[in-house]
Structure formats: C-alpha cells, structure tokens
Amino acid sequence: MKISQRAQRIEPFYVMEVAKAASALAQQVADTDSPMIFLNIGEPDFTAPPLVQQAASRAIAQGNTQYTPALGLPALRERISGWYASRFGADVAPGRIVITAGASAALQLACLALIEAGDEILMPDPSYPCNRHFVSAAEGTSVLIPTTAEERFQLTREKVAAAWNDKTRGVLLASPSNPTGTSIAPEELQGIHEFVHSRGGITLVDEIYLGLSYEEHFGHSALALSGELGQSVISINSFSKYFSMTGWRLGWLVVPEALTPVIERIAQNLFICASTVAQHAALACFEPETLLEYERRRAEFKARRDYFIPELDRLGLNVPVMPDGAFYAYADCTSAAARLGVSGSWDFAFELMKRAHLAVTPGRDFGHAAPERFVRFSTANSMAQLHEAVARLEAVLG
Ligand SMILES: Cc1ncc(COP(=O)(O)O)c(C=O)c1O
C-alpha cells in the first residue's frame, strides 16, 4: 500500500520502545523486593477530583451527551475566561477560547489554520516531539534551534531574529517546557513576540504546564502581555496536567477574536466537538473546592521537585537549570553513564532499567542537538517512590 509522504514524515516515538521494555520488565519484577519505578511518565499520578467525577456521572445520568457547539460549551468558555482573570490577571474574552480534544487538537487546529505548505516554524531544541509533527502534518517545516542551559533551553529574541528568513511563519514555544520544566522569562517572551509580530508572523505558546508553575517570576501567561501583544498571541492549554485529566481528552486554544470563526469551521469539520461528558465535568474544575485541591497538588509537585532535583545533582546527574514548573528534570547523564560502563543517554536508560528497575526517558525524541547527553526524569510519582528511586540510584551510582 502506498503511504503518504505526510505520514512518512512523522518519525517514530522512540520513547515508546523504552516504555514497552519497561512494562515487560515490570511484569517480571512485580513480585520481587524491587518492583519497577516509572519515572518516565508524562502525566500526573492524580485523578480528577471528586466534584469533577460527580459532574461527569451526572452528565451521563441526565443524558447530557449530545454534541456541543464546535467552539465548546459557552459556560466552560466563560469559566476558563474567569480563571485567566483570577489566576493570571489576563483579560481573555470567552469569544477567543475554543474548547478542543486536549492540547493536541488545539495544536492541530492552530497549525492547520495558519501554516501554508513550505512555511517554517522555529522551535527550541529540545522540545516536545509531537510539536514537530503538528507542523509537518500541516505541510510546514519545523526548524529546531539548539538552546543552552543559560537560555533556560528556550528561544531568545536574538536567536529568533537571526533564524528568521522569507519562509519563516512564526515560532512555537512551550513554557514551562517538556522536557526541561523551564520557562521563558516574561521580558524575553515579550521581546520574541514583538519581533515576530513586527514581521507579520505568529507566536504560538503551549502553556499546558503553566498551571504547574512554582516561581512567581515565571508563572505568567503570554496572554497577559500588555495591549496588542497579549491580544495577538496564540496560547494552547489543556485539562491534562494541572487539572489531572489526561485521558478525558480536553483542552483549549486561545486565538485573536477574528480567528475564532476560522478555527470553528475547521473544528466543525474535523472534530464536530470535544467530548461532551468531559466538558460538563470540567465545569467543576473551577469550583472553589476543586481549585483548592489543585493548588494542594501543585504544592505537592513543588515539594517533589525541591527534594528530587538536588538529589540528582548530588548523584552526578546534573540538572543544569532548576525547573520552575511542570514535573520534569532534564539531567546530564554523561558521567553517570560512564560509571555504569555505557555511553549516551539511550544506553544509560536501558542500563538503569536493568540494574535499578528505574524507567526514565532518553533525550532522543526531544531534539537533535544533544540527545545523547540528557535523560528526562518525571517527578509525577509519589514522594515515597521518589525516595526509593534515589536509594536505588545511589546503590548503582554511588
Ligand atoms: C508540551 C506538551 N504539549 C502538549 C501535550 C499534549 O497534551 P494533551 O493531553 O492536552 O493533548 C503534551 C503532553 O504530554 C505536552 O507535554
């Protein structure tokens, strides 16, 4: 069968090989005194809080399960707008908010609406692998720009300006980022967007981890940039991470108001709407009781970061920039790998899996600049498991 060029451009997800090997080994060691610890998982270890679960059951019992408008339930768009105002001081009219099947569908809609064949989109290396594929599915080309720890593994205005050419259509950033958990400083983001906007380009900012921000300086939405800048930026968000609802498949996109009908037309045709049950459930995310629970969880994620990252550093797994959000640590494993008698993060991940029954994610999927130097640890796991992970790392590396 002839496969489309489009499909062939989508690279395999190498981490799935690691995840598959980890699951197979996990079964073998499940009943030993050293069961597998999964530090490779990119989703919260919490489920939706009680009020959210109850709202979902109620929607099903009451038969509130027909299609919603393509843009989403008006009440949900209102609540998200209210959340931007109360949590981020950002003025985001409900008319700019489009409810989607996760950040993934939001990214697809934005790319399909704005990218022409041959357009180039700048993004940092390392970054979330699927972003490259959303761009290529829209026939665009992603241009990965190597970043440094000093730059918090993010793009700078200077680098964007240097890379800009006639084909460049815009930038796709994630702040905080996966795999590094580091954000762009607000003043740098403003500089980037000012430059991009002045060239008639688009600034897409994936803010899926913004709810899980731990430092006052970095925890700002791009939508809160002043005046025209905040109104013209495109932001992607989701119920997956801060709201602990990965499998419910619900997220949203914020666009300049004039773009809403364009996105609506594409969404109507490609998706009809996001899950109705998930949308009714998500209304309960913004109840005071539920928001308190989310804030308690955010504090827990921060406590895990504060414990785990210094421990990685102590064990020679240097994390060059303290993450200010999300639940990841991107650690340089060069010397740790040498201590295990291997070289490169791919072999290091398999060696760690074999010797310590710890699953981590090697850098290969996240970019081309230095994938063999870095592994990603996820701290979306209980404090007890993180303590056990440190003890095992100490036993094999110490
Ligand atoms: C940076 C980033 N963007 C988007 C996504 C997709 O999330 P969703 O579950 O909302 O589709 C992920 C998932 O891990 C992610 O890490």
Ligand 1 contact, 366 CB (< 6 A): no
| Structural Rg of the chain based on CA atoms | 21
Ligand 1 contact, 208 CB (< 6 A): yes
Ligand 1 contact, 240 CB (< 6 A): yes
Q: Which of 209, 261, 217 is nearest to 379 (CA)?
A: 209
CA distance 277 to 247: 12
pLDDT > 90: percent of the chain = 94
Average pLDDT of 145-174? 98
The Å distance, Cα 31 to ligand 1 centre, comes to 33
pLDDT at 13: 81
The Å distance, Cα 161 to ligand 1 centre, comes to 27
pLDDT at 168: 98
Ligand 1 contact, 251 CB (< 6 A): yes
List phi, psi (to 5°) of 74: -55, -40
> Pocket of ligand 1, candidates 16, 111, 132, 178: which has the most ligand atoms within 8 Å of its Cβ, to mutate?
178
Residue pair 158/188 in contact (Cβ under 8 Å)? The answer is no
Q: What is the pLDDT of residues 366-389, one digit of tens each?
A: 999 988 999 999 999 999 999 999
pLDDT at 45: 93
Residue nearest to atom 7 of ligand 1 (CA): 103
> Pocket of ligand 1, candidates 100, 240, 327, 376: which has the most ligand atoms within 8 Å of its Cβ, to mutate?
240
What is the C-alpha end-to-end distance of the chain, expressed in Å?
Answer: 52
Q: What is the 3-state secondary structure (H, E, C) of the chain?
A: CCCCHHHHHCCCCCHHHHHHHHHHHHHHHCCCCCCCEECCCCCCCCCCCHHHHHHHHHHHHCCCCCCCCCCCCHHHHHHHHHHHHHHHCCCCCHHHEEEECHHHHHHHHHHHHHCCCCCEEEEEECCCHHHHHHHHHCCCEEEEEECCCCCCCCCCHHHHHHHCCCCEEEEEEECCCCCCCCCCCHHHHHHHHHHHHHCCCEEEEECCCCCCECCCCCCCCHHHCCHHHHHHCEEEEECCCCCCCHHHCCEEEECCHHHHHHHHHHHHHHCCCCCHHHHHHHHHHHCHHHHHHHHHHHHHHHHHHHHHHHHHHHCCCECCCCCCECCEEEEECHHHHHHCCCCCHHHHHHHHHHHHCEECEEHHHHCCCCCCCEEEEECCCCHHHHHHHHHHHHHHHC
Reported as a pLDDT band with limits 50, 70 and 90, residue 11 is confident
pLDDT > 70: percent of the chain = 100
Q: What does the mean pLDDT of the chain come to? A: 96
The Å distance, Cα 186 to ligand 1 centre, comes to 22
Residue pair 329/323 in contact (Cβ under 8 Å)? The answer is yes
Residue pair 55/252 in contact (Cβ under 8 Å)? The answer is no
Q: What is the pLDDT of residues 70-125, one digit of tens each?
A: 999 999 999 999 999 999 999 999 999 999 999 999 999 999 999 999 999 999 99
The pTM for the full model equals: 0.96
Q: Which of 359, 334, 355 is nearest to 345 (CA)?
A: 334
pLDDT at 17: 83
CA distance 3 to 150: 42
Q: Which of 88, 126, 35 is nearest to 328 (CA)?
A: 126
> Pocket of ligand 1, candidates 40, 43, 123, 130: which has the most ligand atoms within 8 Å of its Cβ, to mutate?
130
**Would you tell me the crossing angle of helices 288-314 and 383-397 to the nearest 10 degrees?**
10
Q: Which of 75, 114, 66 is nearest to 94 (CA)?
A: 75
CA distance 60 to 321: 45
The Å distance, Cα 32 to ligand 1 centre, comes to 34
CA distance 17 to 250: 27
Q: What is the pLDDT of residues 220-278, one digit of tens each?
A: 999 999 889 999 999 999 999 999 999 999 999 999 999 999 999 999 999 999 999 99
Q: For the chain, which domains are there?
A: 5-47+290-397 (3.90.1150.10), 50-286 (3.40.640.10)
pLDDT at 15: 80
pLDDT surpasses 90 at 53: yes
Residue pair 357/345 in contact (Cβ under 8 Å)? The answer is no
Burial of 117 (0-12, 13-18, 19+ CB in 10 A): exposed
CA distance 241 to 221: 16
pLDDT surpasses 90 at 18: no
Tokens of 386: 């993180």
Q: Under 8 Å CB-to-CB from 354, ≥6 apart: which residues? A: 25
Reported as a pLDDT band with limits 50, 70 and 90, residue 301 is very high
